[in-house]
Structure 1
Amino acid sequence: MSYSVSQNTTFLTVAAVLQRAISFVYFIFIARAIGVENTGVYFFAIAFTTIFTVVADFGLGPVLTREAARFDTNSSAYLNTVLGTKLIFGVISYGVLIICANLLGYDALTKSMIYLSGITMFFDNIHATFYGILRAKKNLLFEGAGLIGSQFLTAIIGGVALYLGAPLYWLILAYTIPAGVNAIYAGFMARRILGAPVIPKIDFGLLQKFLVMAWPFAIAGLITRLYSYSDSIIMSKLLSPTELGYWSVPFKITFAFQFIPAALTASVYPAMSSFFITDRARVGELFVKATRYLFAVVFPLAFGLSAVAYPTLTTIYGAQYAPSVLVLRILLLSLIFGYVGFVTGATLNATDRQKTQTGLLLAALTVSVISNLILIPIWGIVGAAISAVIGNGFLAIAGTILVAKKIILPYAELWKYLWRTFIPAVIMGVIAYLSIVKISFMIVIPLVAIIYGILLFVFGAVDRDLLKRLFAKIC
């Protein structure tokens, strides 16, 4: 059974939004219940393990999906070979994780949390393989269901553990158990859709071919993960678990909003790839259109949330997280550059400049690590937040310059839409900041959202024709 592109996009988008929502609420309960220091240990164990998922996958996931989609009759052989290989790579990755955790000298509690999180990584790698073959079959319904079900089960197990005052490692087991269940479920669904046995059996000739295709994905994935989490590793050695706990809350908040540019770039990437062959001028137009939409979203997020950051964060997470407020405000500034970086990255990949994008990510990683090593010893988590602005700013600006060397960018249009969304967002932020002193943030947030919408009309960022087109697409 296969579905259309629009149906599959809907399945995965709805699932991703629900999964992020459940995860976000779940983390709030964790942060309030276990305290700042334990939250820091919990957050770091997951962040540290996330880096090693690239080793376990080694880029074979996207290769499996692509090749199985191209050569449908070989799907079963492809799956069995990749599954067998990833089982071995998963064990190797887990061993490397244990070695690194011990070499870095973490305490017993942190290491035990990392070890458990590593088992979760192993199961995640397996169910990702099964979902990869289902993607090749144009069936994302089961993946969406697995995504929501797994997160819901995590919330239930974790919620019970918090209620009973269970040891901290149960919050990791709350991910490990659903990951194992999800792997079994995904394997069953893959067998059902393929109509053939799923047996880990490596065809070494096929594996050699796949590894040649996979290594660029592996390198790009590793650089991306290191760019996202290298600051956490540096902080784990230079700062205390309590400071990592303060960092975890603003990081989680800003990370939650990254699905917006990810979803948008996923939809424009195929069109950009096609236009690059047939009509390059339209690639620039699509770049402007994507950036326009992201400006309209990220500016109010950055300025609006910054304005109400203190009462919102301390009310939701507790007064103990007050030191996280400044970090949140700085990371929200970084989010603006991060949104632009999503578009420039997608554009470079769509215009056959994958190596350039990988090189750019490597340069951004270098800039980020150097700035973190300089600023974290001086300003702690605030220094890490400033480094995030520097890294994302470099990625966005350098990415835009590199994009402009390949396609014609209408800079006048870009600046026009930037100011037409930036000024309303600043006005909205000022109103929110002045209002939050006397009015609850629960009233201020929807109120300034309405004001921002009106200002978009006033400044010409949105008009009736645009609304009609959006409404027509939704309907």
Structure 2
Amino acid sequence: MTSISRVVKGFQTELVAKGAAIVSGLIVMVLLARLLGPNKLGQLFYVLSILSIAHLLSNLGFPQSGARYVAEFLEENPSKVRLAIRVSLGYLLLSSLLVVLVLFLGSGVLESVLGESNIQKLLMVGAAYVFFRSLRYYIRRILQAFGAVPWASAMVVVTEVANLIFIFGLVSLGLGAIGAIAGYTLAYCLSFFLGAAVFYTQFYRSLPTDSSFDINLAGEILKYNFSLALTSGANAIEKETDTVLIGFFLGPSMVGFYALGKRIANRARAPAEALGFTLAPMYTEAKLSEGSTEAGHIYRQALVNILVLYVPAVVGLVLVARPVVKYIFGSEFLPAVPVIRLLALLTLFQSIGYITGNGLDYLGRAKDRAKIKGVSAVLNLILNLFLIPVWGIIGAAFATIVTNGIYNLTNVYFMHQETDFWRHGVIWACSKILLVTVVMAAPVYVLVPHIRGVFSLVLVIFIGIAIWIVGSFALSLITISDIRRVI
């Protein structure tokens, strides 16, 4: 059986990193909201959405493809690991430099086409943001394939701490949105160089050498990457075009309200992202060594644990969304409340997706995942084009929820085909989770109208968490041994 202790150790370190990401990210969001206001914040998020699309197009799945072959060769043919790294990194550098060049030289054209003034300089600085973000992502993925989750997690901590320092410093100096983008870029650059140094000294130098170039392996990586590239392109459409279309149709202030809700939802997915990042290479190892039963056992436990955490959290976020925005970000951001409430459901879908999608890539189902991702991305684009002009940011949120739900639930079905994880115990656990959620939500719903400031907001949140903990222990959804393993 695959060692649960390995899962827990990896999860511990990655969860600490993601915890740092949550804290740092929320602090950065609050600071930017307070320092820039809705219009300038909207312009910043508008440009960051464009840069995120460029990032997804620049890596084209090469980090995932390289990590998949590295993990496989470490088990079966270690002499091929160096070649897999060199080939996948070469592909990544080629695609990244091409995208960066187009972005830098075409920034003026993009400004004219999008109809948004004063973003050319932001896009030019953003070219470096895209390049270093892609390289950092590659190193994290390769470290993951080596099982070096603590080092990969350390890269997250470095990035988030550097984000907080650089962004706050540069924006406080009066550099505004361009200072924020420069801060993100410096943080990615620092994290990449530290991660690359660790990888080279701790892992790469000790690998067996194989000087021969295998054209078949290069072709296999490129062929496998084709499906990942489709998924990456579809991700670019589905994750960021809603923000770009809101800016095009409704203006930067609406982007600020929508992006605030979306970023809160994205930050809340951190524990699931940590668990998915830790587990993904283990699906391949478990299936190769002990078959689909062990892989299914790993996934089933992960799914139940994620639902225990996220179903009550989603309901809680819906209930406290208004006081959170009012007392943390400021009353001028209250139009973001309906979006936050809708996108709370996105948090649940994404949490399921993070423990499922990466594992499917390692299990060789990238092609099937790419197909459904392409369908959901096209559907998302169509829904946004129709709904944003009619319903505004609410329409964009609705489109995002529908398409993410279709995509991630289909991935769960693919995982069922690969691991046969579905058991009666999953349904029974879900019924207990729903019961705990209802018991938690009732008193929180009664208390929310009495919130008058930050102190009472925090108190109500802690009451909800306490009820959830007691209920989860009472129904054996959480045990003392679970807590000890994580701690």
TM-score of the superposition, structure 1-length normalised? 0.85
Q: Which amino acid aligns with 2:240?
A: Y
Partner in structure 1 of residue 99 of structure 2: 93
Partner in structure 1 of residue 34 of structure 2: 32
Partner in structure 1 of residue 169 of structure 2: 160
Distance change >3 Å, CA 63–CA 386, structure 1 → 2:
closer
Q: Helix, strand or coil: the match of 1:315?
A: helix
Matched, 1:373 2:382: no
Distance change >3 Å, CA 141–CA 422, structure 1 → 2:
closer
Q: CA deviation at 1:62?
A: 3.1
Q: CA deviation at 1:412?
A: 4.5
Distance change >3 Å, CA 208–CA 180, structure 1 → 2:
same
Distance change >3 Å, CA 216–CA 103, structure 1 → 2:
farther
Distance change >3 Å, CA 344–CA 16, structure 1 → 2:
closer
Q: Which amino acid aligns with 2:306?
A: L
Q: CA deviation at 1:406?
A: 6.0
Matched, 1:174 2:186: no
Q: Report the more deviating stretch, 81-90 or 373-382.
A: 81-90
Q: Distance in 1 between matches of 2:293 and 2:195?
A: 42
Q: Helix, strand or coil: the match of 1:428?
A: helix
Q: CA deviation at 1:370?
A: 1.9
Partner in structure 2 of residue 244 of structure 1: 255
Runs of 4+ in 1 over 6 A off after TM superposition: none
Q: Report the more deviating stretch, 204-213 or 304-313.
A: 204-213
Distance change >3 Å, CA 283–CA 146, structure 1 → 2:
closer
Q: Distance in 2 between matches of 1:137 and 1:337?
A: 28
What does residue range 172-251 of structure 1 map to in structure 2 within 5 Å? Answer: 172-193=181-202, 194-195=204-205, 205=215, 208=219, 210-251=221-262
Q: Distance in 2 between matches of 1:344 and 1:313?
A: 31
Partner in structure 1 of residue 158 of structure 2: 149
Q: Which amino acid aligns with 1:302?
A: V
Q: Distance in 1 between matches of 2:193 and 2:419?
A: 46
Partner in structure 2 of residue 423 of structure 1: 435
Q: Select 1:46's aligned residue among 45, 48, 61.
A: 48
Q: CA deviation at 1:467?
A: 0.8
Distance change >3 Å, CA 357–CA 61, structure 1 → 2:
closer
**What is the aligned-residue RMSD (CA, Å)?**
3.4
Distance change >3 Å, CA 79–CA 418, structure 1 → 2:
closer
CA contact (8 A) 1:251 1:331 kept: yes
Q: Distance in 1 between matches of 2:424 and 2:149?
A: 40
Partner in structure 2 of residue 319 of structure 1: 331
Q: Distance in 2 between matches of 1:276 and 1:81?
A: 24
Q: Which amino acid aligns with 1:216?
A: S
CA contact (8 A) 1:424 1:455 kept: yes
Matched, 1:364 2:386: no
Q: Distance in 2 between matches of 1:93 and 1:349?
A: 24
Q: CA deviation at 1:239?
A: 1.5
Q: CA deviation at 1:269?
A: 4.2
Q: Distance in 1 between matches of 2:182 and 2:481?
A: 46
Q: Which amino acid aligns with 1:319?
A: S
Q: Which amino acid aligns with 2:160?
A: Q
Distance change >3 Å, CA 219–CA 156, structure 1 → 2:
same
Q: Distance in 2 between matches of 1:142 and 1:337?
A: 28
Matched, 1:383 2:395: yes
Q: Distance in 2 between matches of 1:34 and 1:429?
A: 34
Q: Helix, strand or coil: the match of 2:175?
A: coil
Q: Helix, strand or coil: the match of 2:450?
A: coil
Partner in structure 2 of residue 433 of structure 1: 445
Distance change >3 Å, CA 64–CA 244, structure 1 → 2:
same
Q: Distance in 2 between matches of 1:5 and 1:414?
A: 20
Distance change >3 Å, CA 354–CA 60, structure 1 → 2:
closer
CA contact (8 A) 2:439 2:467 kept: no
Distance change >3 Å, CA 297–CA 380, structure 1 → 2:
same
Q: Which amino acid aligns with 1:355?
A: K
Partner in structure 2 of residue 200 of structure 1: none
Q: Which amino acid aligns with 1:294?
A: I
Partner in structure 2 of residue 451 of structure 1: 467
Q: Deviations over 1:310-365 (max 9, x none)?
A: 11111111111100111111111232333334455467556653322221212221
Q: Distance in 1 between matches of 2:55 and 2:374?
A: 18
Q: Distance in 1 between matches of 2:255 and 2:312?
A: 27
Distance change >3 Å, CA 423–CA 101, structure 1 → 2:
farther
Q: CA deviation at 1:279?
A: 5.2
Q: CA deviation at 1:9?
A: 4.8
Q: Report the more deviating stretch, 332-341 or 98-107.
A: 98-107
Distance change >3 Å, CA 337–CA 243, structure 1 → 2:
same
Q: Distance in 2 between matches of 1:233 and 1:173?
A: 21
Q: Which amino acid aligns with 2:461?
A: I
Partner in structure 2 of residue 332 of structure 1: 344
Q: Deviations over 1:130-156 (max 9, x none)?
A: 555555555455544443233322222
Q: Select 2:132's aligned residue among 123, 136, 146.
A: 123
TM-score of the superposition, structure 2-length normalised? 0.83
Q: Deviations over 1:221-272 (max 9, x none)?
A: 2222322222112222212100000011111111012222223334454555
Q: Helix, strand or coil: the match of 1:109?
A: coil
Q: Distance in 2 between matches of 1:321 and 1:241?
A: 13
Gaps of 5+ in 1: 197-202
CA contact (8 A) 1:32 1:318 kept: yes
Partner in structure 1 of residue 209 of structure 2: none
Distance change >3 Å, CA 316–CA 430, structure 1 → 2:
same
Q: Deviations over 1:369-408 (max 9, x none)?
A: 2221221111100111111221123224444555556665
Q: CA deviation at 1:48?
A: 1.4
Distance change >3 Å, CA 239–CA 335, structure 1 → 2:
same
